[in-house]
Chain A
Amino acid sequence: MPPVVQVNNLRKRYGEIEAVRGISFQVETGEVFGLLGPNGAGKTTTVEILEGLRKADDGSAVVAGVDVFADPSLVKRRIGVQLQASAFPENLTAKETVEFFAACYDLDVDALALLRLVELEERAGQRQETLSGGQRQRLSLATALVNSPQVLFLDEPTTGLDPHARRNLWDLIRGIQSRGTTVFLTTHYLDEAEILCERVAIMDEGRIVALDPPRKLIDDLLARGFSKPVLRQRANLEDVFLDLTGHQLRDA
């Protein structure tokens, strides 16, 4: 299988700021790939270039077999996206929102089946703006899947969600991967990357500073003689929170 995303020496600057400074990497078909980094590292810019939303200054990018710079429209047909801080048209129900995006791709879809996939079937008739944060992220996943994409781009999908909703979303992402979709994820939650991703690239100041499976990155670090100064806790506050408030998703 050829890599589904292939990036070579990608560069992008905004005025004085060089947001992406010549990065190269590839994403294998079927994996969950994580792009990590602190805020302002250039993750979102990179992803938006791959999604055909932004023009790069230099380099090349092939996504799902399409040169992104040559045919951004065809790339858009083959990928699904969940943008950071985006919203849906107002006054539409969840089902109509999915139908709206299906219309954008000029495809007929079974909107209810997609909502079922993200556990929102019973909210089909509810206005999307009245959904909870976690529900809206799930709806966002459903709209990103209307075209059965080869690659699903998720830009910080769990930001702002409570621990239950995060875990629920992780399950959904794994489910999507298990049906053969490659998932390209950006996040600044390292636990999320560790749990979900087969491989991660760590980005800082526009460069990729490491690219490996999470386990290997950790082992390498330990091999360099690193050790945490405090004793490892056997549980943390999040475990307490989940234990007290239950592991079930509340808002479904």
Chain B
Amino acid sequence: MRQTARLTALLLRAYLRDRIALFFSLVVPLMLMVIFGYLNLGDFGRVSLAVDDQAKNDASKQLLSLLKGIETLQITEESTDEALKRLRRTELDVLVVIPKDFAIAPARPGQTVPQLVVYGDDARPQQVVVGRQIIAQVIDRLSFAVTQTAPVVAVKDETVQGVRLRYVDFLVPGILGVNIMQLAVFSVAFALVGDKQRGVLRRIMATPVRIPNLLAAHVVTRLFIAAGQVAVLLLVALVLFNVTIVGGLGALVVVALLGTILFLTIGFALAGWAQSENQVPAIAQLITLPQFFFSGVFFSKNAAPEAIRPITNLLPLTFLNDALREISVQGASLWDVRTQILGLLVWIVLGFVMAVRLFRFERF
């Protein structure tokens, strides 16, 4: 414990002195956020949403008026046939079909719950995601209004009122996720392979240092850096972009740290596997780049081709981004994202096993 703390203090001091590493762990993520967020490169404007109200009752009118009150949505009413045609021509993002039996009432045993059918345009996945999220929240709100047992009506209500999803709100959790990945994988891999190549690890191995303590010091150092990085990014997101973070900051930090540990194990495995410093960027890119594009950083993860989605949905960064986004955008609790947390934990175990098997202190 004491040994780990002493080693961590020194490694942390060294890390903070390393201007290049700091640049990559703070300036680059900020740049990404500013470019994509401030210049609104990924802005999709509004979500065009058609409603086919087949029920035309009080409940459906209530739903419709709530949807109309949300400025992100551009609402038209049209028949399902007509709307599906326009949807296929990418003139429309989302179609919501309100069934004839639509009602907002507590479900009774044995009775089927009325089902809203939501069609989304495959070509515009971000808009579809936002559209679906908004509808889900509006439904939640309506449901809570009639469910007497709902304990948190007021809080939930506020959440729905605050639904003004902009691209940057969607973007920030993704940026957090991708930077956690980059920092952990690259900083550990570069540092350790460099140390291995220059003989630093060999020199350290000539001391009776306890290896788990040394590795723990490297991990804790990066956890500190990652926590700082997350704090700075969130601060800038809040101040500069007025980003809405619906969920709890605590939950966000917990998931971020889990993600850091996960990608650190991958970084250690990579450092063990790579033979020289030159191989690190190539291997690291091979690991991170697909996740960069397919794990929902800048665009919805559904932008990935359907055929590979079963795989992309299981990528470590997908779990991390989904969890961060659901907490940040939808106000999910840690319990709500338990599936993603489970995914992260499974990856941590896999990464740990790989790291232990692959890590060597010597050059070969």
Residues of A whose CB lies within 8 Å of any CB of B are: 51-53, 73-74, 76-77, 81, 83, 85-92, 96, 99-101, 103-106, 127
List 20 A-B residue pairs with CB atoms under 8 Å apart, sorted by A's residue number: A52-B206, A73-B208, A83-B202, A83-B206, A86-B200, A88-B203, A89-B10, A89-B14, A90-B194, A91-B13, A91-B14, A92-B10, A92-B13, A92-B14, A96-B13, A100-B7, A100-B10, A104-B7, A104-B214, A106-B209
**Do the beta carbons of B199 and A103 come within 8 Å of each other?**
no
For residue A249, give the distance in angstroms from its CB to the closest CB of chain B.
24
Quick check: is B17 within 8 A (CB to CB) of the other chain? Answer: yes
Does B15 interact with chain A (Cβ within 8 Å)?
Answer: yes
Residue total for B at the interface (Cβ-Cβ under 8 A)? 25
Secondary structure at the B interface, as helix, strand, loop or mixed, is: helix
| Whole-angstrom CA separation of A52 from B13 in the bound complex | 30
Shortest distance in angstroms between B34's beta carbon and chain A's nearest beta carbon? 28
> Hey, which chain B residues are within 8 Å of A127, CB to CB?
17
Whether B204 pairs with A104 at a CB distance below 8 angstroms is: yes
Contact present for A83 and B209 (CB under 8 Å): no
Q: Cα distance A96–B10 when bound, in Å?
A: 7
A76 and B203 form a contact (CB under 8 A): no
Minimum C-beta distance from A137 to chain B (A) = 13
Contacts of A76 in B (CB 8 A): 206-208
- Closest Cβ neighbor of A140 among chain B residues: B203
Task: Tell whether B3 is near chain A: CB-to-CB under 8 Å.
Answer: yes
With A76-B207, A89-B14 in contact, is A53–B202 under 8 Å at CB? yes
The residue on A at minimum CB distance from B13 is A96
Q: Which of B2, B14, B206, B207 contacts A90 (CB 8 A)?
A: B14
Enumerate chain B residues within 8 angstroms of A73, measured Cβ to Cβ: 208
Please tell me which one of the listed residues A74, A91, A105 contacts residue B17 in the complex, with CB atoms under 8 A apart.
A91
Residues of B within 8 A of A52 (CB): 206
Selected contact of B199 from candidates A83, A90, A91, A92, CB within 8 Å: A83
State the CA gap A105–B7 with chains docked (Å): 11
Asked whether B207 lies within 8 Å of A91 as measured between CB atoms, the reply is: no
Q: Does B68 contact A (CB under 8 A)?
A: no
Given contacts A100-B7, A100-B10, A103-B10, contact A86 B208 (CB under 8 A): no
Which of A85, A103, A127 has the most chain B CB atoms inside 10 A of its CB? A103
Question: Is B198 interfacial (CB-CB < 8 Å)?
Answer: yes
A87 touching B203, Cβ below 8 Å:
yes
B357 at the interface (CB under 8 A from A): no
Q: In whole angstroms, what is the CA distance A121 to B6 when docked? A: 22
Q: Complex formed: what's the CA distance from A91 to B10 in Å? A: 10
Query: Does residue B82 face the partner (Cβ distance < 8 Å to A)?
Result: no
User: Is B238 interfacial (CB 8 A cutoff)?
Assistant: no
Which residue of B is nearest A48, CB measured? Answer: B206
In the complex, A22 Cα to B17 Cα: how many Å? 48
Task: State whether the Cβ of B18 lies closer than 8 Å to any Cβ in chain A.
Answer: yes
Docked Cα-Cα span, A96 to B202, in Å, equals 19
Q: Are B18 and A91 in contact (CB under 8 A)?
A: yes
Of all A-B residue pairs in the complex, the 9 with the closest CB atoms, nearest first, are A91-B14, A86-B199, A104-B209, A104-B207, A103-B6, A86-B203, A87-B198, A76-B208, A91-B17
